[in-house]
Chain A
Amino acid sequence: MHWTHPKTLLAGLAVVTLLGTASFALPSQAATLRMAWSQDATGLDPHKQTAFSSLRLLEMIYEPLVWLDKDLNVAPAIAKNWEFSPDGLTLTFKLDPAAKFSTGAQVTSDDVKASFNRILDEATAAAARSNFLSIKSIDTPDPETVVFNLSQPDAPILVAMASVNAAIVPAAEITAGSIGTKAIGSGPFKLDEWDPNSKDVLTANPSWAGGKPGVDGVTISVLPDETAILASLRAGQTDFALLNDPLVATLVPNEPSLQLNRVPGLAYNALQLNPSRKPMDNLMVRQAISCAVNRQEVIDTAQVGEGQVTGPLTMPAYASDPSTLFCYKQDVDKAKDLMKQAGMADGFSATVIAATGEPPYASAEAQVLQSQLAAIGIRLDIKLMELNVYVDAWLKGDFDMAVALNGGRPDPYPMYNRYFTKDGNLLKVSNFTDDELDSDLQQGRAETDVAKRKVIFQKFEAHLAEMSPWIWLSTSYSYTAQQKTVKGFEPSATGDMHSIGKVTVGS
C-alpha cells in the first residue's frame, strides 16, 4: 500500500472531529423523572439485597405490609391496619383490598404468608431473617387477614416489617423461582429495564393502590462520580439525585434552580475499638479514648460540618441528649489521667482500618482521630482498604480499631441486639457483652409501652457510652438533590424512596 493522499485523509479526519464537537446533549422528555445516583442496585431480590443502592431501587417497585412515615411512625402500605394481642403473642394485619401487583393480581394473605416463609427459609439467605425469628406460624383466615403467631412478645418486629427486605412478593413467583429475575411488586413503578451499573428504566404501575403515580416513568442513570451528578443537575439533564458525599451536597444550594434535601440519617459514624485486643480490653483505656476525642471537631473537619454529634441511639424517639453521656465533652486531662491509671502513661501504637470512599470522608475522619489521639500518646497507623476487603476484615473482627459507618434502625433492639447480646450474630465484630446491656435489650424487646421502652433504652445507651466498646461520633445526613420543579418528595431518615410515587415534575 502506498499513501498517495495522506493530506486529504487528514483533512477528512479533522472535519469529522469538528462536526463531533458541535453536537450536544438531547433535550429532556416530559413526565419522566430523570434520576441519577452513583451506585446501582446489585440485585433485584428484595429479600436478599441489603446494599443501600439496591434498597433504593426496590422501594420504588415493591411494598412491605407497612412503611415508616417521615417521622418514623409505622404507616399503612399493603396492610390497612394492624393490632398486637394484649399478651403480645399475636400480630394481626388487615390487608388493603385495593393492593395489587403490577400484573393486576390482588395481593392476598397467601402472598404475605409465602413471602415470610421465603424470608424464614434458610435456603433463601435473607439477612433480614434474623429480625423475624420470633414468628412461630402464620395463619390466613381469609384473603384479607394475616395473623402472625409469635413465640415471645416482640415489639420491634412491626418496625422490622417496614422495610423492603420484608416486601410482599407474589406467591406464584416464589413457586416459579423467578424472584430476583422478574421484579413484580405492588409499588408505584414497575421495572422495564435494568442494565446494572449503567441505566434503570421504570414505568408507572397502573394497578398501584396509591393511585396514579405523579410521573409516567423514572429513568435512572448511574454516574459513579458525584461531581458529574452535580454537573448533570446543573445542566438540567437530571431532575433528582441521591448524593453521599457531603462535599458535593454542600455545593448544591449555590445553584438557584436546585434544591438540597437534607435529613439526619439513622446510620452512625463510630470509632470501633476491639476490646478483645490489648490494651483496648482495659475499660480505662477505652474511656480515655472517648474523653480524648473531640466529636464536633471530627464533624467540622472531616465532614465539612455536615453531621450531628450522636450517642449510640440515633432515632429521635429514643435518643438521649448526647451532652448527658459519658465524656461527650472533650477532656484531655481526664483522658491522660485514665491512661496513667491503666498503666499506659506512655501511650501505645494501634492500627485503625477504614474503607476507601465508604463513607466518602472515612479517610479524613481517621486522620482527625489520629491527631486527636496523639495528644494522649496513642499512635494510630491508618490502613485504608477497598470496601470489600474492609468488610472481610470487619466481619472477622480482625482490627485494633475501625472507622465505621454502621447502619441504624428505627428501633434500638434490632440495631444493637446483633452486636451487644450474648447470642448476637455480630458479636465477633464487637467482642463485647455485659449483663446489663443484655438484660436491657431483652426487656426493651418485650415491652410494648413506648414510654417504658424509652426509659429502658436510655439506661442502655448511657451504660453503653460509659463502657465505650466503641466511640460513637456522629450521624451524617442523607441527601437528595433536585430541580425546584420537582414536587412531592418526602425525604426520610431511613433514606427510603417509597414517596417517589407522589413525585411530579413541572416544566
Chain B
Amino acid sequence: MNYVTQRLLTFPLILLGVSVLVFFSIRLIPGDAITAMLGTEAGLLTPAQRASLANYFGIDQPVWTQYARWLGGLFHGDLGISVTYGKPVLGVILERFPLTLELALLSVIIALAVGIPAGVYAATHNERASDLGVRLFAMLGQSTPSFVFGLLIIYVMSVYFGVIPALGTFTPIWVDPLANLSQLIFPAITLGFAFAASVTRISRSAMLDVLSDDYVRTARSKGVKARRVIWHHALPNALIPVVTLSGVEFGYLLGGAVIVEQIYALPGIGRLVLDAITQRDYALVEGAVLFIAFNFLIVNLLVDLCYVALDPRIRLGGR
C-alpha cells in the first residue's frame, strides 16, 4: 500500500501541471467568450457593453489573477461556473460522465470479447490461412478511421434497414436499459472495432511467446489436453500486455471519444470539451480536462495493481 500512497501523492503535482497548461493555452487561442457568443455582431458593441460582458464572463481581470482565483476555488472543491450551462462545472461534467464511462466499458468489453479469442485463435493457427485472415481483419480494423466506420454503420443501417441508432439522446441504463443499449451499442461497436484489432494483434503475439515457453511444453508432455493448455495455462500469462493496452485505451476513452460522440451526437465528455473550446467556456474546459487527467491517473494506478493480481511475482514500488 506504500506504493499506492506514493503514487497518490504525486497526483496533485501532475494535476497542477495540467491545470497551468490548460489554463494558459486555452487563452492563447484568439477569440474569447464574447466573440464566441456574438460572432461578428460583437463588433456592434460599445466599449461599455463589452466591458459589461467581460465582467460577466470573468475575463476582465489579468490572466494571473484569474488563475489564482480559479486555483483558490479548486481547493474548496469549486471548479467554477460554466457560462454556457449557467451551472457549476463539476455538475455539468458529472451529468455527462455516466455516458462516457458506459461507452468506454462497453467498447472495451466488445474489444476484449472479440480480440482475445481472435488473437488466441490466430496464435494457435500460426501462419495458416486462418491466421492470415485474422491478421488481415486486425490490419483493417486498425487502419479504418472511426469516422469512416461510424458513418458507414449509420449509412448501412439507415439506407438498407431503415433503422439507425437513436441519435442525440442518452437514457441512463437504470432508467431504460433497452433504450440505453440501443443508443450506445453502435458507437461502442465503432470504438470497439478498432480497439479489438489492437487487442487481437497483441494477444496473438503474446500467445505465440508464451506457447514456446518451457512450462507449456511441460504441461503438454504431461498429457494435458491442448485446449486446457491454451486457455488455462498459457492465456493468463499472455494477458499482461493486453491489460496494459486495455488500461491505456480505457483511460483514453474516459476522456471521451470526440469523433464518435460527434458522429452519433452523444452528449459525452469528449463533445463537452470540444463544445466548451469552441464556445470559449474557459472554466468548463479547465474543469473537464482536469477531470479527464484525474481519471487517467486512477486508471493507470489500477492497471499497475492489476499486474500484481495477474502475476504474483511482480512487486510494485521497487526493491
The tally of CB-CB contacts under 8 A between chains A and B is 201
Contact B231 A394 (CB under 8 A): no
Tell whether A228 is near chain B: CB-to-CB under 8 Å: yes
- Judged by a CB distance under 8 angstroms, whether A375 is at the interface is no
B interface bracket (residues with beta carbon within 8 Å of A): 35 or more
Contact of A23 among B49, B170, B185, B279 (CB under 8 A): B185
Cα A6 to Cα B168 in complex, Å, equals 36
> Closest chain A residue to B227 by CB distance?
A7
With a 10 A CB-CB cut-off, give which of A125, A393, A418 has the most chain B CB atoms: A125
B117 CB–A CB distance under 8 Å: yes
Inside 8 A of B127's CB, which chain A residues have their CB? none
Which parts of B112-158 form the interface with A (CB within 8 Å)? 112-114, 116-117, 151, 154-155, 157-158
Q: B313 at interface (Cβ–Cβ under 8 A)?
A: no
Contact residues of B: prevailing secondary structure:
helix
Q: B263 contacts A228, CB within 8 Å?
A: yes
Shortest CB distance A360–B (Å): 15
Q: How far is the CB of B75 from chain A (nearest CB, A)?
A: 28
Give Cα distance in the complex from A24 to B183, angstroms: 8
Q: How far is the CA of A387 from the CA of B280 in the complex (A)?
A: 12
Contact for B36 among A20, A224, A227, A388, CB less than 8 A: A388
Segment with Cβ contacts to B, from A8-16, A101-109, A305-313: A8-16
Shortest CB-to-CB span from A495 to chain B, Å, is 15
Q: Which of A223, A392, A429 contacts B167 (CB 8 A)?
A: A223
Separation of A313 and B117 alpha carbons in the complex (Å):
66
The reply to whether the CB of A88 lies closer than 8 angstroms to some CB of chain B is: no
- Give the nearest-CB partner of A16 in chain B: B109
Q: Is the CB of B42 within 8 A of A391?
A: yes
Contacts of A127 in B (CB 8 A): 38, 41-42, 44-45, 49
For A195, the chain B residues whose CB sits under 8 A away are: 267
State the Cβ distance, B205 to closest chain A Cβ, in Å: 18
Q: Which residue of B lies closest to A418 (CB)?
A: B44
- A130 in contact (CB, < 8 A): yes
Query: Which residues of A sit under 8 angstroms from B116, Cβ to Cβ?
Result: 6, 10
Stretch in A48-56, A71-79, A184-192 with 4+ CB within 8 Å of B: A48-56
Tell whether, in the assembled complex, residue B151 and residue A227 are in contact, meaning their CB atoms are under 8 Å apart: yes
Q: Which of B36, B39, B162, B232 has the most CB of A within 10 A?
A: B39
Q: How far is the CB of B88 from chain A (nearest CB, A)?
A: 14
Instruction: Determine whether the beta carbon of B185 is less than 8 Å from that of A20.
Output: yes
Q: Whole-angstrom distance between the alpha carbons of A324 and B284 in the complex?
A: 52
Contact B35 A235 (CB under 8 A): no
Q: Is the CB of B43 within 8 A of A25?
A: no
Task: Indicate whether A29 reaches chain B with its CB closer than 8 angstroms.
Answer: no
Report the separation of the CA atoms of residues A16 and B114 in the bound assembly, to the nearest whole angstrom.
Answer: 12
Q: Mask for A1-38, Cβ within 8 A of B = 1, else 0?
A: 11110110010011011011101111000000000100
Given that A17-B109, A26-B182 are contacting pairs, would A2 and B43 also be in contact in the complex, using a CB cutoff of 8 Å?
A: no
Whether B84 contacts A196 by the Cβ 8 Å rule is: yes
| Per-residue interface assignment for chain B, residues 184 to 196, with 1 indicating a CB less than 8 Å from any chain A CB and 0 otherwise | 1100110000000
Known contacts A13-B109, A195-B267, A428-B43; is A24 also within 8 Å of B167 by CB?
no
Q: A10 and B117: CB pair below 8 A?
A: yes
Which of these, B37, B164, B275, B310, contacts A235 with CB under 8 Å? B164
CB-contact partner of A221 in B231, B265, B280, under 8 A: B265
Residue of A nearest to B272 (CB): A197
Residues of B within 8 A of A231 (CB): 154-155, 158, 164, 167
- 8 Å CB contact of A197 from B165, B263, B267: B267
A43 interfacial contact with B, CB 8 Å: yes
How far, in whole Å, are A222 and B170 apart by their CA atoms in the complex? 12
Whether A130 lies near B44 (C-beta < 8 A) is yes
* Residue contact A10 to B113, C-beta cutoff 8 Å: yes
* B-facing residues in A268-319 (Cβ within 8 Å): none
Q: B10 at interface (Cβ–Cβ under 8 A)?
A: no
B113, A14: Cβ atoms closer than 8 Å: yes
A6 lies within 8 A of B235 (CB): yes
- Bound Cα distance A429, B43 (Å): 9
Please name the residue on chain A nearest to B276 by beta carbon. Answer: A197
- A13 close to B271 (CB less than 8 A): no
Residues of B contacting A21 in the complex (Cβ-Cβ under 8 angstroms): 185, 189
Contact of B279 among A24, A42, A228 (CB under 8 A): A42
The answer for the CA separation of A223 and B31 in the assembled complex, in Å, is 25
CB-defined contacts of B30 to chain A, threshold 8 Å: 388-389, 392-393
Which of chain A's residues has its CB closest to B180's CB? A23
Whether B182 lies near A6 (C-beta < 8 A) is no
Query: Is B40 in contact with A51, judged by CB distance below 8 angstroms?
Result: no
Beta-carbon nearest neighbor of A51 in chain B:
B39
Cβ contact within 8 Å between A4 and B232: yes
Does B298 make an interface contact (CB < 8 A)? no
Residues in B whose Cβ lies below 8 Å from that of A23: 178, 181-182, 185
- If A17-B113, A386-B278, A389-B29 touch, whether A232 touches B43 (CB-CB below 8 Å) is no
- Residues on the A chain within 8 Å of B169, using CB: 198-199, 221
Q: Which B residues, 30 to 66, have Cβ-Cβ distances below 8 Å to chain A?
A: 30-31, 35-46, 48-50, 52-53, 56
Q: Give the distance in Å from the alpha carbon of A359 to the alpha carbon of B269 in the complex.
A: 27
CB-CB under 8 A from B163, the residues of chain A are 24-25, 235
Contact of A3 (CB < 8 Å), options: B44, B114, B236? B236
Say whether, besides A221-B169, A235-B164, A20 and B188 are in contact (CB < 8 Å): yes
What are 19 of the A-B contact pairs (CB < 8 Å)?
Answer: A10-B116, A14-B113, A20-B188, A25-B165, A48-B38, A127-B49, A197-B84, A197-B267, A221-B168, A223-B168, A228-B264, A231-B167, A237-B167, A388-B31, A391-B35, A391-B42, A425-B44, A428-B43, A429-B40
Q: Mark B residues whose CB is within 8 Å of A.
A: 29-31, 35-46, 48-50, 52-53, 56, 84-86, 106, 109-110, 112-114, 116-117, 151, 154-155, 157-159, 162-170, 178-179, 181-182, 184-185, 188-189, 231-232, 235-236, 239, 262-265, 267, 271-272, 275, 278-280, 309-310
Binding site for B on A (CB under 8 A): 1-4, 6-7, 10, 13-14, 16-17, 19-21, 23-26, 36, 42-43, 48-51, 122-130, 180-181, 195-199, 221-225, 227-228, 231-232, 234-237, 386-389, 391-395, 406-407, 418, 425-426, 428-429
Nearest 6 Cβ contacts at the A-B interface: A221-B168, A388-B31, A13-B113, A198-B267, A20-B185, A50-B41
Beyond A17-B113, A51-B38, A231-B167, 13 additional pairs, beta carbon < 8 A: A20-B188, A21-B185, A23-B178, A23-B181, A122-B46, A123-B52, A129-B46, A196-B275, A221-B169, A228-B264, A391-B35, A392-B35, A425-B43
